[in-house]
Chains A and B, each alone.
Chain A
């Protein structure tokens, strides 16, 4: 626990990637395999189901600290993180623990599941009293999850590769899918031979950067294959050992949630992995993402929802065929085999080969891209001919070229403190536009897009211009105008404005515009699809 808490502090202290990888590598080199396994598990963002409710942790910590509930809440508002608030509030400690991380997790944390409340309380107090402040913080994090310490899976992978002398792409692959954090797992993770026994395991997804500026800078248009960029759930459909697995990009096994796609598995040849996109699709047309949201998170799917929001898999790429890894082959070769496969196995319209967009110049390509929105696409994907299927996000061979977002000038009418890194500042904003009676009606929330300096100025404005308090939300004098961008727009009876937008963010601060000149709901309604 001591070493792990130190690792956490070291990762937290630096913003430099190199230093983070170094700290991780040092940790993995010396940690017992049982500890290393749990460290990997937590650092890449996995977590056991929360065993003790946050509410209880707060309650017991407040009592231990002798702080009334409202004061705990005020403290939390300043900190933005329960685990950290608790660590800061608990009475100073004179102890620190030498027990290994695995011991704390396996023999102290996991047994809390299902224990009665009094036993849980006793165990938590016991743990806190045995630990110093950094350890308490990490312990609380282990329980509450949300282990954000600015370490991506990629960094952990690099460090593991370094510590074990294994190719990081092999480590990345072995980290995919289902595994248990055991010493044996760490052994397999860092094993020299590449034989792979887990047949459910997906490949790391190849990801794209956005095109910046003129795509003509990418060279001749003939070197590129363009496809539509769909707004669904990126996933991998795998058929191995007579079983079918459907993985989302978030590495969640979602086979049971999309039975339409799962049943496709039976007709796939043994040893197949398809990279694709789950898309809501009815009568030959994609549905808006909001429809798909009705199915995300649903574990059991009833007849009604299946009929209203059926899904298909748009097939982008073929990663494995006849049990052979195709990722190093040129894009066209993989695509040709994928086309063949789709033609052979397609059940009526369930597996669709991702259509390509053909254009003989960048101008023609740009013109085609403009049509994206009319069929629920976000723009174009550009893939370099001859390119392999990379591990993760790599610059150069895959680019997303989205259509320009919708934009609206809206008035800041409420703000809330952020969490984590932005806990002490008002960074979460509600924006409003003028309705038909010239009243301001909230229409979007946005959290990102301003520079730190701008955030500081908006924060100061909020503090000086508060009107009312609703829990953590502060309404402010409607004065500041911002240009917002968003990707999609939908009618929504759940929103006061009658409109829901997708991915709203702040483009810029319109210092030149008074609130009166912000956009109207009417003009926004004009953006709705016919």
Chain B
């Protein structure tokens, strides 16, 4: 997919549609939209080849604001519809924009199946840990015991861990970023695009109306560096304001250690994007309060793409059987003549 038509390079403006953006002022979605519009021109894809498919929810209004082909569909089904788009035309750059409710609750089944099939589409899941469009019910990623409109005594649901779900579904690419980390978000969007196969990008997104501050500990300048572990392939896992904290493996368990107290960078875990076991450990970091939240590419592997395999089958069948002769097929194998 190289740009053959653009004599003048594309810019952010080319991807801004003429529709008024209707998210609440201060919503994290604005940043995700802006970073997407900024990143798309750099991907080397002609504008007409972008397709944005969404389900239902605040996040899913996204296609209306992108000047690209867009399909705002029905709740939870975007991965299925996007699968049809990609199989029908593998040459398109297909993006699914979804939220934690859309992707993990009503659309959970479609999400896991698109991941295991490895159709080359890019799934960007805005996780604000709440239902926004329906005005504030707990979502499948809300913390246990959360008090909301529909759970005045605290929710009884244990939350999903999205990267674990994705890895469990045989995802070939799992990454995480945050709405307000604009450069990191752009970098992740590029990685998502570059990965051939289904990419799953979780974006922590602040809903300032119904779940404000859910990710404050990862965003506030004062504390974020102590709470975020930015993953870099091939580099030791070091974090903290003073770059003096690291992650070491103790038996099967990762633990936070201070560098300097008899521990050097050599003792730390080194990130390897291609290691599925390590990815499993990293996905679980968010379930342990003593560990930082990993951002970046948690896992990446190269596997055949569903739509390419289908085309191979078609070409193989044509080679073996020849282009189908429909008139002959209509006749079948047993015919008789009536004079």
Partners in one complex: no
